[in-house]
């Protein structure tokens, strides 16, 4: 059976890394069909298209996964196309698990003294369909001295339950001992009170896993102090966004951070954690390794576990022995190479494994 994958390269460095990622995945020789879609700032500015009306139905009907670059462009300061493309897919496809592994692939990528591969290996389960991201809220008396601006945080029992359950189930499948939930229940009594209660109920159904609830500020500190104390972290949409940029910085930076937006058993979307990086776009400086590792997450979701492992090990060898883009030079030393040079070496390493 051929798996159909919709590729949306997007803006800035999105297309630069998507090209590399697809070349890599095609090299493995699996029955994957890649169809390219040009949604992003250029298309939006040209003809007003954000996502065509029927695109989400097409995805649901004909596709197994979306392989996504990044969106965001200084020419669209309101970021409305990004909301209409990326957030629309997360919400409308009900991709409630934002899986973001923060796993060190090489000791030299760690910025923390004495913390290496054995210590930095936590995975974040970020709730991806509610919280502060739903667009609920509004502005009243805009531009006046009496202006009122409100963003409403939505927390539903169903939404919180399913992400907590997914986190515990993942820990169980991977033989991990601990799940930590991050909230701010000392201040946000209603919404995060719900998180506390639902997390405790979920923990009761998984007695073999150690469950701990923490305030997110304390967790941010502790992730720097003793990252080895965490296996799986489950949290809401906004805290997950912030903690995973922190997690990326602990494990080599945005240039190597991968993510999945998943509805188990359904079409899911895979994207690097980084954005469109307008500051380096078009300069051949983008690190393609995050997109490559994102490809490995997608292969795993499609059931190609062995092949995902091949991509993963090619990336690890690249970091260990190969050329690096400028973002990794402060951590690895040596001269900086281009996206293309890194991509060519990576492709050779994968070829040698297939
Ligand atoms: P960013 O991730 O684009 O860039 C942050 C910094 O990291 C920049 O200095 C950039 O050069 C560097 N960087 C990021 N990815 C890199 C890579 N692969 N290789 C080397 N360096 C890399 O975040 P930002 O600057 O806050 O946002 C830029 C735009 O991207 C904004 O419009 C934002 O909304 C958007 N954004 C989109 C996504 C997404 O599509 N999933 C995610 C984050 C930000
Ligand atoms: C991410 C990004 C997005 C988010 C933005 C671009 C909407 O920061 O994927 O981490 O906040 O979720
Ligand atoms: Mn983010």
All structural domains of the chain with their residue ranges: 1-96+263-354, 101-253
Give the closest ligand to the alpha carbon of residue 10. 1
Among 277, 282, 295, 327, residue to substitute to test ligand 1 (most atoms within 8 Å of Cβ): 277
Tens digit of each residue's pLDDT (9 = 90 or more) over 94-121: 999 999 999 999 999 999 999 999 999 9
Nearest to 41 by CA among 16, 11, 9: 11
Say how far apart CA 325 and CA 335 lie, in whole Å.
9
Cα(16) to ligand 1 centroid in Å equals 13
Distances (CA, A) of 216 to 147, 172, 224: 30, 23, 13
SS3 content of the chain, % helix, strand, coil (to 5): 45, 20, 35
Asked if 12 contacts 70 with a C-beta cutoff of 8 angstroms, the reply is yes
Nearest to 131 by CA among 165, 171, 98, 166: 98
Is any atom of ligand 1 closer than 6 Å to the C-beta of 241? no
Reduced to 3 states (helix: H, G, I; strand: E, B; else coil), residue 25 is helix
Nearest to 318 by CA among 342, 334, 300, 301: 342
* Residues with active-site annotation: 133, 184, 217, 241, 245
Write the class of the CATH domain 101-253.
alpha beta
Give the closest ligand to the alpha carbon of residue 338. 1
Looking at residues 14-32, what average pLDDT do you find? 97
Tens digit of each residue's pLDDT (9 = 90 or more) over 208-227: 999 999 999 999 999 999 99
Per-residue pLDDT, 53:
85
Ligand 2: residues whose CB is within 6 Å? Answer: 82, 86-87, 241, 273, 275
Nearest to 271 by CA among 286, 256, 291: 291
Q: Give the CA-trace dihedral at 291, 293, 295, 298, to 10 degrees.
A: -130
Are both 1-96+263-354 and 101-253 of the same fold? yes
pTM over 0.85: yes
Superfamily designation of domain 1-96+263-354:
Isopropylmalate Dehydrogenase (3.40.718.10)
């Amino acid at each position: 059976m051929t798996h159909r994958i919709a590729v949306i390269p997007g803006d800035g460095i999105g297309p630069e890394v998507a090209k590399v990622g697809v070349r890599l995945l095609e090299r493995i020789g699996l029955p994957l069909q890649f169809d390219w879609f040009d949604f992003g700032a250029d298309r939006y500015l040209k003809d007003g298209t954000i996502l065509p009306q029927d695109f989400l139905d097409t995805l649901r009907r004909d596709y197994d996964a979306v392989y996504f670059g990044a969106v965001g462009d200084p020419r669209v300061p309101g970021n409305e196309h990004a909301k209409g493309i990326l957030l629309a897919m997360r919400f409308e496809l009900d991709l409630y698990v934002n899986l973001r592994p923060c796993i060190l692939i090489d000791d030299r990528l760690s910025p923390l003294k004495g913390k290496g591969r054995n210590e930095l290996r936590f995975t974040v389960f970020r709730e991806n369909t509610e919280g502060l991201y739903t667009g609920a809220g509004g502005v009243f008396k805009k531009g006046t001295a009496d202006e009122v601006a409100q963003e409403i945080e939505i927390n539903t029992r169903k939404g919180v339950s399913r992400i907590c359950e997914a986190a515990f189930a993942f820990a169980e499948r991977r033989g991990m001992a601990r799940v930590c939930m991050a909230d701010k229940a000392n201040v946000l009594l209603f919404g995060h009170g719900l998180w506390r209660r639902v997390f405790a109920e979920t923990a009761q159904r998984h007695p073999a896993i150690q469950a701990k609830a923490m305030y997110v500020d304390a967790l941010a500190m502790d992730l720097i102090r003793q990252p080895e104390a965490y296996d799986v972290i489950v949290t809401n949409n906004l805290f997950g966004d912030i903690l995973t940029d922190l997690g990326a910085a602990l494990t080599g930076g945005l240039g190597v951070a991968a993510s999945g937006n998943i509805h188990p058993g359904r079409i899911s979307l895979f994207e690097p954690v980084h954005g469109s990086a307008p500051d380096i776009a078009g300069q051949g400086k983008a690190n393609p390794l995050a997109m490559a590792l994102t490809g490995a997450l997608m292969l795993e979701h499609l059931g190609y576990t062995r092949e995902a492992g091949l991509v993963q090990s090619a990336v690890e060898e690249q970091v260990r022995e190969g050329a690096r883009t400028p973002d990794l030079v402060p951590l690895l030393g040596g001269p900086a190479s281009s996206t293309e040079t890194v991509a060519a070496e990576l492709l050779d390493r994968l070829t040698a494994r297939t």
